[in-house]
Structure 1
Amino acid sequence: MEYLIKAEGEYRYIDEGQGETLLLLHGLFGALSNWAGVINHFKSNYRVIIPLMPIHEMPIKEAGCEGLTEFIEGFVAFKGLDKFSAIGNSLGGHVALIYTLRHPEKIQRLILTGSSGLFENSMGGSYPKRGNYEYIKERVEYTFYDPKTASKELVDEVFEITNSIPKVMRIIAIAKSAQRNNMAKDIVRIKAPTLLIWGLNDTITPPEVGHEFNQLIQGSTLRFIDKCCHAPMMERPTEFNEILTNWLNQNPV
């Protein structure tokens, strides 16, 4: 299902439903479409907002976790969002962690799935190669338990991105920023109710990373999904939504 991408000022985003706000943050190669199953499930009871982060367009000197967090700070202020639950996948989880530490008064709940911030095996251990479609296809498939989850449309999108030198330069800068920015000493200060939804077969942020987040964030809840890799909301949307729904109901605001 296609959703209207709104454009206001420098921001492009999806804004569906009404009620308590869920702010969703995508990953480095993520797209708004990654969250289609979450939007469909939650828009009847929640307001689901997904900003498109300027990963491929931001000034190269700002391309990193800090710059993306500042972008989200600007977006939240621009939309006048007061309090909300933040949900982040991969790099989006990393940004959500930094934002939560900077603005604890705004975060009602924090949900991380395959988040970077402690360890990340980016692109399966290597940076993207330009012009090699089969290599890109293999790397995209590597992020899923079932390679068929990597649709031709998704592979084509990543291939187009990696064929642009300026975009690749930003991707590499952001990936290196994420790897440098280890948050183990900081996230112990997070007090918001936190849910960790992890693929049991995650090759990018392996299950032990989920366990480490669970140990460092006091009172956090860790749930694994079997036969699932780095993007549970895409690969196992039914299980992901069930876990998230139950936990939100158990942790009302």
Structure 2
Amino acid sequence: MRAAYREHLDNFSHDLIVMCDTVRDMLTLASQGLLHSDLQKAEETLSLKDELEETRARCESRAVTLLALENPMGKDLRQVVSSIYIVEDLFRMGQLVRHVANTARRRHPECAVPEEHRGFFEEMFRICLQMVAQTRDILIEPDPEVAIAAAKDDDAIDDINEHIIGLLTMREWGHTTRQAVDMALLSRFYERFADHAVSVNSRVVFLVTGLAPEQYLAKKDEDAQHDAFEARFEALERQFRR
């Protein structure tokens, strides 16, 4: 019975990695379709929708089985609950990438982003792809320290998004209103994609430690202060023993 339970958990974890791989492929295809006005890449992105939804449904079924029949406790319960939220974050990431692909398809054969501004989206794509790779690694080997560090990449995406919005609201904007709207929405899609990647990493912190990232960092600081105090006390104790 316990072996079957562990197999259910392992299969659930494997499906999360499958979802992450699908999201990575969708991100790559959609971004290439956008940046190179490649209609085929945009269509390939949309064709992965069924695969993503199928994996999501399988994960939901596994979660119901584990919660209803196996009654997990402690860390196992955290793993199931965290995984349920991770599934939704990954699915939403796929949905956001589909919006990018739809924009590329709608504007084909033109590019939705003016040439002089494509560098911003190339960088957002690069950072998001890096975040997906980090997320995959963390799902395979959960590490709260690595998970928390991923938030720095999200800050970079936020900075680019803010800069793009600033460009769009300048009087000197030299392109059409339609292009401004497309750029604002596309930037938002990538920014939200990164937010969901950070959310996945936050779930991993909870899975491993039972704490939210803020609580984990606060406890880490408290433990460091306690260790420093203990070290000073031991040093004083050794000094007075001489």
TM exceeds 0.5?
no
Rg (Cα) greater in structure: 2
Query: What is the TM-score normalised by the length of structure 1?
Result: 0.26
Determine which structure has the larger strand proportion and give its number: 1
Does 1 or 2 have the higher relative contact order (CA < 8 Å, sep 6+)? 2
